Amino acid sequence: MNRSAHDDAAATALDALYELQGIDATYTPAGGSGSTVQVLVNDRTQSTQDKTGARSRSHVLRGLLRVSQVAEIGRGDTLQLAGETLVFKILPSSVSNDGLEWDFEANAEVTKTVGNVNAIPDR
């Protein structure tokens, strides 16, 4: 398929948007090695769940990646934003592609052991 002037203009505008608002990240395909990409973050949330003996904090990241930087996204692929320790796993069922960008959702779960605490004192 031949590229049109419109296609070239759209790709140039998208590149400019990523240069202005993109966050550097490391994208690692499952079983592969990482590469530096830029991510547009649409939303980032976190929630906390208390379980017996542990507290779990789930972080969710929704964003966009350029197809020109990542040709394919699959199960087990990870994303780590620059300067952060969290590693987000991309959820394959959440990925869509409009031809220029991947729209994705990823999550990272951090569990901290709270310990054994008796709620009722021994008698």
Distance CA 73, CA 88 (A): 13
Query: Following DSSP, what letter does each residue of 6-30 receive, concatenated?
Result: HHHHHHHHHHHHHHHH-EEEEEE-T
Q: Is 46 helix (H, G, I), strand (E, B) or coil?
A: strand
What tokens does 121 get?
A: 């004192």
In the chain the domains, ranked by start, together with CATH numbers, are 5-113 (2.40.10)
Q: Kind of pairing, strands 88-90 and 96-97?
A: unpaired
What tokens does 94 get?
A: 């959440």
| Per-residue model confidence as pLDDT tens for the chain (123 residues) | 566 777 788 888 889 999 999 999 999 999 899 999 999 999 999 888 776 667 778 889 999 999 999 999 988 899 999 999 999 999 877 788 878 899 999 999 887 666 554 444 444
